[in-house]
A and B are shown apart, each in its own frame.
Chain A
C-alpha cells in the first residue's frame, strides 16, 4: 500500500505563501487516495515555477523545455499508453510559449492530464505579463499596462471541445483533490486550470481577490451541456466558477491509432523489427 509520505519530494524553492504549495499538497493527496505508487506515474513539465512541481513530489519525471510539456507528454503516451501521464505547466508556459501544442493536444484528445498553475503573471522571470494577465495590469515590461485582452483558457478549451475542462483555486485544496481525481478518472485529454496567487509579483489577483470571486458550480450543474458550459467558462470577472465546467465523451487518440488500439503499449512489445522480408520485397 502506498503511503502519503512516499510522495514527499525535495524541499520546494517557491516563495513562502505561494499558491503552488496548495496545488502540490492536493496533488500528493489525490495520488495517495487513488492508490497510485510514484513509479506508476510519469510527470512532464516545462519551465516556470509550476514546472518545478515534479521535483517536490515523487514520480517518473521529464522536466523539459519552456512550452514543450505537451509534445513530450504525447510522445510518452504514444510509446507507453499504459502509463498515466501528468503534464504540469504555467500560464505563460502552456498558453504562451506552448499555445500551439495546447490547441493540438486538445484536438488530438490524447489521454494526458494537463494541470496549469495559472497565476496570471510570469513568476520565474519576475513579474512580466502572461497571456492571462488582466488588461491594464502594470508590470516591469508593460509600463502602460497590459494592452492585450486576457486569454480565458477554460472558455478556449470548451470551445475547442476539450474532453474535460475544470477550474480550481489553489487555496481550496479539498476541492482540488477532487478535481485531480476527476481528471485522472476521465478518459481523454483534460485541462485543470488552477487559479494560483503569486504573492511576489501579482498584486492584483491576490488570495483575497480570488476568494471574493470564486464560487463552486452548483450540484445540479450539467457539464455536458455545451452552451451552458461555454457561458460559465466565459465567466471571469466579478464571479469565477470553479469545478468541472465541461465534459464530453470522446474517443481517445490512443484508441484511434490502429497500432495501439486494444494492444500492448509499444514499449512492452519486442523491440526487434518484424516482417522485414515483406517490406524488402516491395522494392522489386
Chain B
C-alpha cells in the first residue's frame, strides 16, 4: 500500500490542522509517511494544499496521484481533480462550497452539518473531515481522538471535537462506494518531524544555547521551535530587529562563550553577509541556516528552490574559509547539525547549513531519535584551564591555524578580537608580514584539515550505473525513489551530496570516478542555472553534459522526475 491524501483549501481554513492530525494518526498507527505543504504568501484566502503520503514501506517524496482529495474550497476540485488515482475520489461539502459535483468520484459529505448536529460549531467541520478520511481508510477513530487529546490547546473544545470526529468517521465508513483501501496491520508508533524542527532539535542537542533570528519564510519554524523550547533547555532566544543584528548578536554570544546559531532565508542572509565576514575575520564560531526560497528579491516567499548555493558559498567580503552542509532528511539533519557545531567550534570557521522550503516544511516519520548520536565536545578554554595558562593570545599562531578559544572573564587574561587585521593578541596592525601570516593561519592552514573532516557523497543503487542521478539537499527522497523505480530494469544509481563544501581532499575523491564512469550522469537541481553543477566544475573541472532543472518554485514529484529522466534513457 502507498496512499496519498491531499487537503486543498484557502489559507485559514485549517488544512494544516487536518494534515498534521492525519500525519500523527498514520505515524502512531505505525505507517511511514512523508507530507509536504504548498501554500501562498497570505494569511487568509488563496489556494493551498497539504499532501500526506503514507505506506508500510519508507516513503521520502511527493507523488502525484491522489487517493483521497479533501476539497475544502471550490478551487480544489477543478485544480486537483485530474490528479485522482485509479481508485481515487474527492470528498467535499456541497453546502460549504455552494456547488454540487456529479459523478462517483465526488462524495458530498456535510462536514459542517455533522459538526453542528454533534453540538459543535462550523470550525469543527475539520474534525468531521479528518474523521471521515479515517473512516474511509478503515482506520480506528480512537487514534484520532488521542491525537486530539494531545494536541488541542483548548481542553474545553476537546469533547465536542471528539464527538464530531466520531460522527465524521462513521459517515465516512458508511458512505464510501468507491473505497478499496487495504489498511495494514498496526506497527509500533512512529514519530513525525518537520525539517525545521529536526534542525532546531539537533541544534539544542548539540549544545546550542543562544539563538537570534528575524522571521523569514521558510526559516521561521526554527525560530518558533527554539523559542518554545527555550525554558526547558535553558536557551536564550532573541528575535532581533533585523538580520544584521541577529548575526551580530550571535557572534557576541559566541565570543562570550556559548554555542550560537541563526537561521534565515536568502534575503535575510544577504543582510547577514557582512556579519559572516566578521565571523571569518574574528574566527568566531557560528552556525547559519540558509533556508532557500525562490529569488531574486522577494521571489516566491513560500515556495522552494536551490538557487542560493553559490551565493552562500561566496558570501562575505574578503577571503574566508567556510563549511557548507545540506540535509535531505531529518536523520541527515541530526548528523549534519551536530557536525556543524562541532566543526565551527573546532576550526572557528562559519558553517552554513543549506535547506529550502521543501525540506523545511516537509514532514517525515521516524522510528525514534537516537540521542546518543549527539556529541558535544567543548573546545573552549574555560574556568580553571584558562586560569592555569601563563599567557594568552586570542589569535596566536599555531601549526594548524587554530588558536585557543577562551571565555572572556574566566581568567585574568584578556580576550581581544578585531574586525581589522590584527596581531596575535587581537590588536589592529598595518604591517604586511602579520597580514600574510594571519591570512595563512585563517585560510591555508585550516582548509586541509577541514577537507579531511568532510565525507564523500552517498551513492545508492547500481555499482556500475548507466544512469547516475546526482543531486543534493532536499532532493534526496525523490532521487532515491526514482532509483528504486528505475532499478527494476536499468543500471541506475544516485549520488547525493550533503557535505557540499569543501569537498574531501584529492585522495578521497573516488566519487568523481563514479560520475565519470557512468554512461549518463545527470545533475538534478531545483534551480535554473545548475548551481551545484557549477560548484563541482569549479572544484574538480568536471562538467555535466546532462541536467534536469526545475525552477517553477515547486518540488520534484516522483512521477515528474521519472518523466524527465525518461527523456535521457534512450541509447542506454
Contacts and interface: CB of A to CB of B under 8 A. Distances in A.
B366 A283 contact: yes
A10 B409 contact: no
Contacts of A145: none
Given A76-B255, A280-B369, A283-B369, A42 B249 contact: no
A208 interface: no
Given A83-B256, A259-B230, A71 B249 contact: yes
Interface string B271-291: 000110010001000000000
Nearest to B412: A39
A78 B249 contact: yes
Given A100-B245, A259-B235, A267-B256, A78 B416 contact: no
Contacts of A78: 210, 236, 238, 249, 252-253
A260 to B, nearest CB: 7
A181 interface: no
Contacts of A62: 251-252, 255, 282, 417
A257 B235 CA distance: 10
A61 B251 CA distance: 13
B240 interface: yes
Contacts of A272: 207, 376
B184 interface: no
Contact of A283 (B193, B209, B232, B241): B193
A165 B246 CA distance: 26
B117 interface: no
A104 B245 contact: yes
A284 B380 CA distance: 35
A259 B258 CA distance: 14
A77 B212 CA distance: 13
A37 interface: yes
Interface residues of A, number: 56
Interface stretch (A51-59, A155-163, A185-193, A232-240): A51-59
Contact of A76 (B235, B256, B282, B412): B256
A251 interface: no
A122 to B, nearest CB: 17
Interface string A257-284: 1111000001101011111111110011
Contacts of A64: 248, 251, 278, 282, 419
Nearest to A55: B427
B244 interface: yes
B415 interface: yes
Which size class do B's interface residues fall under? 35 or more
B436 to A, nearest CB: 21
Given A65-B278, A76-B255, A259-B236, A71 B409 contact: no
Interface in B177-222: 189-193, 197, 201, 204-207, 209-210, 212
A101 interface: yes
A266 B201 contact: no
A103 to B, nearest CB: 8
Given A37-B412, A258-B231, A267 B417 contact: no
18 contacts: A40-B409, A42-B256, A61-B418, A70-B245, A71-B240, A72-B255, A259-B230, A259-B236, A266-B253, A267-B407, A271-B209, A271-B258, A271-B378, A274-B233, A275-B232, A276-B374, A279-B232, A283-B369
Given A42-B408, A267-B256, A276-B233, 11 more contacts: A39-B413, A60-B409, A63-B420, A65-B248, A74-B238, A74-B245, A75-B252, A79-B236, A104-B241, A267-B407, A283-B366
Interface of A: 10, 37-40, 42, 44, 47, 52, 54-55, 58-65, 68, 70-80, 82-83, 100-101, 103-104, 257-260, 266-267, 269, 271-280, 283-284
Interface of B: 27-28, 189-193, 197, 201, 204-207, 209-210, 212, 229-236, 238, 240-242, 244-246, 248-260, 274-275, 278, 282, 366, 368-369, 371, 374, 376, 378, 380, 407-409, 411-420, 426-428
